[in-house]
Structure 1
């Protein structure tokens, strides 16, 4: 989907985003609905009782400002609350409603997830409202939801129902939706292995205050063919990470070394699903490509490349099961199966704030381990080829998931020291 969504028809925006939501397992065939209100006051909305896994642009319904319905299906049964939101909040231009499992868990225990669980979510999601239960599809439901939106909320937990979120456009609404479900998942998974810890508002403000684009700009930039290949590789891995739930729209950095200590890195402030070749930022001789703002984690990547000549690619991201360990501080023992230990050995853990540039923390950049978890922030995975690094990330997330899921069965029995030594001799000697 084009980053300039004003150039994409509402029908196509809606089908793209509902496809992402369905494929990520955040709604069912029959559940969830999306709408966009255009500049003429017409509301484009998903149809009622049509498979969310195979929606086409031609399936999207237009409810015109005068109430005329244009399309071959009925509009979503939840259309009344979409309309009520737009009437209550003229700044809201898109609405997403769905039943993602983690947020439904919060809705049925009647709690609101604390978005201070990770660094950027508070600012993306904003404060979270709560709407009492009303009959689905009813005018009453529209009224209670609209009342919450009138209070200034853009994200609402719907009691025993799910969630509804609004945004300045569909990309904004989806980033909020995805970040909130990620927070909910991380809290739930973390609670299975320990006690989640939350960041203070001051810690989050310090994260947000980190300067971006502090590197000076280079005057001219050349694009040799081998670099174009690497840009494509980065874009493909970012999209694959998003598709597999290893990265979310609002957070995730990927980089690849070029020659010497020069490298390519993803930008800040651009939805990860929509990153394109031209968005990737070249860092050369300590300078950034003109007119582009690289990730705020650029300094970490730069120092890893400077001090670790064998590292040629880095992924810094948030994935739910790894972050369950990141928010609890519980030790992630990857002596689960041979593959996990061979690829990862031990995963280090550093305190929140040590990844800020002002600290220039040697735990992160000196002798960088294959994988490292930063408290309440992210996981950093390093390797040679980017596909290899992505494989390490997958293995780490699968290992974390196995431990979280296995926790209810009993105490983990790791591979013992003798078995580890056998692995070391056979695969690492």
Structure 2
């Protein structure tokens, strides 16, 4: 989706995002609905009882300001609460309602996920409201939801129902939706292996304060063919990471070494789903490409490249099963299957704050491991070729998932020392 979302028709915005939600397993064929209110006050909304997996722009309904319905289907049965939200909050221009499994888990035990589980979610999601149960599709439901939005919330847990979120545009609403579901998943998965630990507001504020400062701009930038090729590789891996649930739109940094210690890196402030080659930022001799703001983790990537000449690509992201270990301070033993140990050996963790610029970061950048977890923040994967680094990320996440799921069956029996010795002699000698 183009970053200039105002130039995309609401029908196309809605079909893009509902397809994304469906393919990521965050709604069902019949569940969920999305709407956008345009500058004329007309509301564009998904239709009722039409397959969310194959929705087309021509299926989207327009409910005019005067109540006239334009389209070949009926508007969503939940249209009343969409309309009520727009009437209650003129600053809200888009609404997403869905039944993603993790957030439904919270709604049926009548709890609100604590977004302090990871560093950036509090800022993205804001405080979370709670709407008591009312009959789906009823005016009563619209009233209780609108009442919550009137309190200033942009994200609401709906009792025994799901969630509803608003945004200044559809990208904003989706980032909030995706981040909140990620928090819920991380808490749930973490609870299966330990006790999730949460950041304090002051820790989050400290992260925001230290992550400031921008490199000086280059006076001139060249774009030779090998540089352009790496930009395309970065965009493809970011897109793939988002599609496979290994990255969310509001968080994730990918970089590739270009020449010597110069490199290319993803920007800050750009939704990862929408990343284009023009967004990628060139870093050369400690300067950034003019007119672009690189990731706030650029300094970590620069130090890794400076001190580790064999590292040529880095992925810094949040994936739910790896972060389950990151929020519980649990050790991820990757002696699960031979491939996991061969690729990763050991995955250690560092405390939250070790990634702050002002702190000693030797644990992260000196002799950096293939995979390292930063508690309540992210996982850093390093490698030679970018596709190889992405493979390591997949293997690490699959290993974490196996351990989390296996924990309900019994105690893990890892590959023993003799078996590890055989693997080391055959594959690493």
Query: Would you call these one fold, judging by a TM-score over 0.5?
Result: yes
> Smaller-chain TM-score range?
over 0.9
Aligned twin of 1:54: 54
Residue 245 (1) aligns with residue 245 (2): yes
2:210 and 2:220 map into 1 onto residues whose CA distance is 27
2:393 and 2:211 map into 1 onto residues whose CA distance is 27
Aligned twin of 2:115: 115
| CA displacement, residues 81-114 of structure 1 (integer Å, 9 cap, x when unaligned) | 0000000000000000000000000000000000
1:117 and 1:412 map into 2 onto residues whose CA distance is 26
Aligned partner of residue 358 in structure 1, secondary structure: coil
Report deviation, 1:212.
Answer: 3.9
- Residues 34 and 94, structure 1, Cα contact 8 Å, conserved in 2: yes
1:379 and 1:360 map into 2 onto residues whose CA distance is 18
What does residue range 36-47 of structure 1 map to in structure 2 within 5 Å?
Answer: 36-47=36-47
Between 213-222 and 346-355, report the one with greater CA deviation. Answer: 213-222
- Residues 315 and 390, structure 2, Cα contact 8 Å, conserved in 1: yes
Residue 102 (1) aligns with residue 102 (2): yes
Aligned partner of residue 273 in structure 1, secondary structure: helix
Residues 332/406 of structure 1: CA separation in 2 closer, same or farther (3 Å cut): same
Report deviation, 1:206.
Answer: 1.0
Report deviation, 1:33.
Answer: 0.2
Residue 232 (1) aligns with residue 232 (2): yes
| CA displacement, residues 228-263 of structure 1 (integer Å, 9 cap, x when unaligned) | 010000000001000000000100000000010000
- Residues 253 and 265, structure 2, Cα contact 8 Å, conserved in 1: yes
1:144 and 1:335 map into 2 onto residues whose CA distance is 50
Report deviation, 1:216.
Answer: 1.0
Residue 403 (1) aligns with residue 403 (2): yes
Aligned twin of 1:177: 177
Residue 89 (1) aligns with residue 89 (2): yes
- Residues 321 and 401, structure 2, Cα contact 8 Å, conserved in 1: yes
- Identify unmatched segments of 5+ residues in structure 1: none
Give the TM-score, by structure 2 length: 1.00
Residue 124 (1) aligns with residue 124 (2): yes
| CA displacement, residues 140-185 of structure 1 (integer Å, 9 cap, x when unaligned) | 0000000000000000000000000000000000000000000000
- Residues 107 and 159, structure 1, Cα contact 8 Å, conserved in 2: yes
2:15 and 2:276 map into 1 onto residues whose CA distance is 20
Aligned twin of 1:155: 155
- Identify unmatched segments of 5+ residues in structure 2: none
Report deviation, 1:326.
Answer: 0.2
What does residue range 343-354 of structure 1 map to in structure 2 within 5 Å?
Answer: 343-354=343-354
Report deviation, 1:213.
Answer: 4.9
2:115 and 2:292 map into 1 onto residues whose CA distance is 29
Aligned partner of residue 279 in structure 1, secondary structure: coil
1:330 and 1:256 map into 2 onto residues whose CA distance is 30
1:186 and 1:93 map into 2 onto residues whose CA distance is 29
- Residues 212 and 294, structure 1, Cα contact 8 Å, conserved in 2: no
| CA displacement, residues 192-219 of structure 1 (integer Å, 9 cap, x when unaligned) | 0000000000000111123445211110
Residue 339 (1) aligns with residue 348 (2): no
1:215 and 1:65 map into 2 onto residues whose CA distance is 48
Report deviation, 1:288.
Answer: 0.6
- Residues 211 and 357, structure 2, Cα contact 8 Å, conserved in 1: no
- Residues 80 and 137, structure 1, Cα contact 8 Å, conserved in 2: yes
Q: Which of structure 1's runs of 4+ aligned residues deviate more than 6 A?
A: none
1:284 and 1:210 map into 2 onto residues whose CA distance is 23
| CA displacement, residues 386-416 of structure 1 (integer Å, 9 cap, x when unaligned) | 0000000000000000000000000000000
What does residue range 11-50 of structure 1 map to in structure 2 within 5 Å?
Answer: 11-50=11-50
What does residue range 303-382 of structure 1 map to in structure 2 within 5 Å?
Answer: 303-382=303-382
- Residues 210 and 296, structure 1, Cα contact 8 Å, conserved in 2: no
Report deviation, 1:348.
Answer: 1.2
1:328 and 1:230 map into 2 onto residues whose CA distance is 36
Residue 261 (1) aligns with residue 261 (2): yes
Aligned twin of 1:220: 220
RMSD: 0.5
| CA displacement, residues 45-103 of structure 1 (integer Å, 9 cap, x when unaligned) | 00000000000000000000000000000000000000000000000000000000000
1:25 and 1:212 map into 2 onto residues whose CA distance is 35
- Residues 210 and 358, structure 2, Cα contact 8 Å, conserved in 1: no
Aligned twin of 2:388: 388
1:272 and 1:197 map into 2 onto residues whose CA distance is 27
1:386 and 1:419 map into 2 onto residues whose CA distance is 29
- Residues 251 and 272, structure 1, Cα contact 8 Å, conserved in 2: yes
- Residues 121 and 180, structure 2, Cα contact 8 Å, conserved in 1: yes
- Residues 107 and 162, structure 2, Cα contact 8 Å, conserved in 1: yes
